[in-house]
Chains A and B, each alone.
Chain A
């Protein structure tokens, strides 16, 4: 079975004579990849994400592959006649979980996002940020094969933003493909496998190499391996840079969102690696978190 999602020469317009929003788009989303979509407002980023999530069909071209998909919209409504937990249990079962498993996963994820206390609050009484957490949890609780995030970070508090970055890192390490749009250029900085820009109804892959001095917080991890061992294959893909200090000792610069995933990979490798130190590296320029 083919799990890669592929867009082949895809175009989309609204209405039979409407202007083309997107045209001639080719994109392949293999499992486990993290893809960022950039572009100014109103250029069709959301349209592209809706095509990828297969909520909308293309007006021309073909979309193939049908991974189990979860989608987080930009703004999530509170006009639903359920409690947060009630809604999430329903959505968990819609995503294919059993009812008890859905409730358990919903409580676990609400807790991770610091929202466990609103589990039994009616959705209509939730704040904008809290209902956005419900939207995010809805997408994560059934471990989808494709996760589509349309500015999912907007409206979340700082802790929840960081938690969502870590959740994305965990899911991609677990084989989920993630496609996201976000206004903050430091979002998951250094982590995406590919960045595309929507421009003049087309899609350009950003080709310039990743900046050597990546923006966004990074973590320095020093690890020591078994004699003459190579780093586990997943690790070099995730880290921003690797430096071999002495034979067998490596200094890894890891995007902060991915430190847990890298450490887990190293500690569970056979034979396991020894973690010498973990420290935080601050980027030169201040973080661009203080908008809105």
Chain B
């Protein structure tokens, strides 16, 4: 087994067994239960599901990064390098958020009304679901970036990190120019016009931003105190 695979399995097992993933998963389910009802226009509901995934992804990153006691992290860092150890934690958080977003997208696509916002124009389920999935991935990626930039090694004190993370997650959804905002508003305007958008550009932009944020966080792991 290559060390990176082994690291990902280790981090995934840490997350799964710690059960700290439960609160964000439950919060996301509550978000969806409140905001999504069956029979609503599919693209609107998918936009809502994608937007709500962003803070959940950031929270999952925070869990994965703080899950391992510092002494245990040092053992792993000595074996594979601190940057790679941190990368594995971020990737596992991203994978968990992406999996959650995929499940939510499938469920929302199936229970929603395959129609535009006027409830007249037909919006086919399959392309709508695909667009929703891309938007969800863009939000999972951007949420991972927010989480990576607002937890160790960049911000160490929980008192500052958590409010910063929540504010950054909120801004990433609502500020024009953010890839997550572009992906979500693309779905909403698509619902009004009755056309299915393909948010490939926002996804690519989110991937780039997340890669940069991940690189910064991983590079700093060996420079900050634990």
Contact = CB atoms under 8 A, between A and B. Distances in A.
The answer on A and B forming one complex is yes
A98 interface: yes
A82 B75 contact: no
Contacts of A95: 3, 79
A50 B75 contact: no
A81 to B, nearest CB: 4
B14 interface: yes
Interface stretch (B4-12, B48-56, B96-104, B138-146): B4-12
Interface string A35-79: 000000000000000100111110100000000111111111101
A228 interface: no
Contacts of A135: 71, 75
Interface residues of A, number: 38
A292 B1 CA distance: 42
B78 interface: yes
A73 B70 CA distance: 10
Interface string A248-264: 00000000000000000
B75 A71 contact: yes
The majority secondary structure among interface residues of chain A is: loop
B79 A81 contact: no
Given A70-B79, A77-B69, A77-B71, A94 B223 contact: no
A86 B10 CA distance: 10
Contact of B74 (A57, A73, A94): A73
Given A69-B79, A77-B69, A90-B10, A55 B3 contact: no
Contact of A93 (B6, B14, B82, B225): B6
Nearest to B20: A81
B9 A98 contact: no
A68 B81 CA distance: 10
A144 to B, nearest CB: 8
B70 to A, nearest CB: 8
A94 B18 CA distance: 19
A55 B225 contact: no
11 contacts: A53-B74, A54-B222, A55-B222, A59-B223, A70-B78, A95-B3, A95-B79, A98-B1, A135-B71, A142-B79, A148-B78
Given A54-B77, A76-B71, A142-B79, 11 more contacts: A53-B77, A56-B222, A57-B222, A72-B75, A77-B70, A77-B72, A80-B68, A81-B13, A81-B17, A94-B6, A96-B6
Interface of A: 14, 50, 53-57, 59, 68-77, 79-82, 86, 90-91, 93-99, 135, 138-139, 142, 144, 148
> 3 closest Cβ contacts across the A-B interface?
A71-B78, A77-B69, A93-B6
